[in-house]
Amino acid sequence: MKHAYVFPGQGSQFSGMGKELYETNGLAKELFEQADAIAGFRISDIMFAGTDEDLKQTRVTQPAIFLHSVIRFKTMDSTLPDMVAGHSLGEFSALVANKTLLFEDALQLVIIRAQAMQKACELQPSSMAAVLALDDVKVEEICAAIQQETGEIVVPANYNCPGQLVISGSVKGIEIACRRMKEAGAKRALVLPVSGAFHSPLMEPAKAELAAAIEAASFGNPSCPVYQNVTGLPVTDPAVIKKNLVDQLTGAVRWTQSVQRMIADEATRFTEVGPGKVLQGLIAKIDKTVATEGVG
């Protein structure tokens, strides 16, 4: 019986996030102030009082979710995790939780990642869409066929749970894919309100900048395995962790596979740390037999 800690990614943000922590916990206040200094602007003000529109900007969203998750983790009175994982951005939070990265180093990497991804989004109009109730293999086949026939980029991006796969690509590619997914029997194929095609080849321009920053950062030996998005497998080697973090930008988030492997490795309890309850819901759909809880 093992205890897994999991950390959410982009999309879980909300106005007021972290405000109560800041006001009631001395360590949390200290960490938020440190984060403002590192970021070069008062990101805490945007988190506590910004509009939904303010929080949707990638350069704000990613560090905001990271800060909420990590500061909440650091103020918890609990035992260390036996294993960790994070959904997309959440992988950086997981790497602080298992002591691979220091708080300040991870925050700097998240800021660089967010800015690089935002710049990549501005280079070409792109989008993402959620495909519901269609077999993963069928989604993969449709994406591959569209790319071969039209040259438009469209790829599986997030394997969230059985029956929910998010695709990513050019605006035209996503439009064609949504139509074909519905024709193939998908219950829904819904374009998402995001600023770009995350976890697709369209993020390639962001890779070099992030890779250089990750290579220069200090990665320690983790206290427990991190189950990384690009493979769904447990990793403890800092060199492999670095490579997987870079590959994650253009590779799919294999969340279903990660959770299944964690359960195979004896995880019986999952604690989601950070804003929202998205991961708890996904884990319950992957395997109803495991216990899930949230600490926000």
| CATH number, residue 141 | 3.30.70.250
Name the token pair of 127: 């989008």
CATH of residue 8: 3.40.366.10
Which one, of 286, 195, 210, 279, lies nearest residue 242 by Cα? 210
Name the token pair of 170: 């050019």
Same domain, 229 and 279: yes
Same domain, 74 and 143: no
User: For the segment 193-235, what is each residue's pLDDT rounded down to a tens digit?
Assistant: 888 999 999 999 999 999 999 999 999 999 999 999 999 999 9
Contact yes or no for 284/270 (Cβ under 8 A): no
Taking the mean position of all CA atoms in its chain, how far away is CA 82? 20
Residue 21: pLDDT over 80:
yes
Residue 58: predicted pLDDT: 84
Choose the final residue of a domain: 191, 212, 238.
Answer: 191
Name the token pair of 81: 């995790």
Residue 230: predicted pLDDT: 98
Same domain, 180 and 205: no
What is the pTM for the complete model shown? 0.96
Binned at pLDDT 50, 70 and 90, residue 79 comes out as confident
Choose the final residue of a domain: 191, 216, 240.
Answer: 191
Residue 126: pLDDT over 90:
yes
Same domain, 286 and 185: no
As for how many domains the chain has, the answer is: 2
DSSP the chain: -EEEEEE--TT---TTTTHHHHHH-HHHHHHHHHHHHHHTS-HHHHHHH--HHHHHSHHHHHHHHHHHHHHHHHT---PPPSEEEESTTHHHHHHHHTTSS-HHHHHHHHHHHHHHHHHHHHHS-EEEEEEESS-HHHHHHHHHHHHHHH---EEEEEEEETTEEEEEEEHHHHHHHHHHHHHTT-SEEEE---SS-TTSGGGHHHHHHHHHHHHHS-----SS-EE-TTT-SEE--HHHHHHHHHHTTTS-B-HHHHHHHHHHTTEEEEEEESSSSHHHHHHHHH-TTSEEEEE-
Residue 11: predicted pLDDT: 84
Q: Is 199 a catalytic residue?
A: yes
Same domain, 167 and 265: no
**Residue 115 lies in domain:** 2-121+201-295
Binned at pLDDT 50, 70 and 90, residue 2 comes out as very high
Same domain, 116 and 156: no
Same domain, 109 and 146: no
CA dist 47 and 63 (Å) reads 10
> Per the residue annotation, which of 87, 93, 199, 200 is the catalytic one?
199
Task: Tell me, yes or no, whether 196 lies in a domain.
Answer: no
Choose the final residue of a domain: 139, 171, 191.
Answer: 191
User: For the segment 161-199, what is each residue's pLDDT rounded down to a tens digit?
Assistant: 999 999 999 999 999 999 999 999 999 999 998 889 999
Which one, of 280, 273, 245, 288, lies nearest residue 81 by Cα? 273
When computed from its CA atoms, the radius of gyration of the chain, rounded to whole angstroms, is 18
Task: Tell me, yes or no, whether 72 lies in a domain.
Answer: yes
Residue 99: pLDDT over 90:
yes
Task: Tell me, yes or no, whether 181 lies in a domain.
Answer: yes
Residue 78: predicted pLDDT: 75
> Per the residue annotation, which of 12, 44, 88, 93 is the catalytic one?
88
Name the token pair of 26: 């001395």
Q: Is 69 a catalytic residue?
A: no
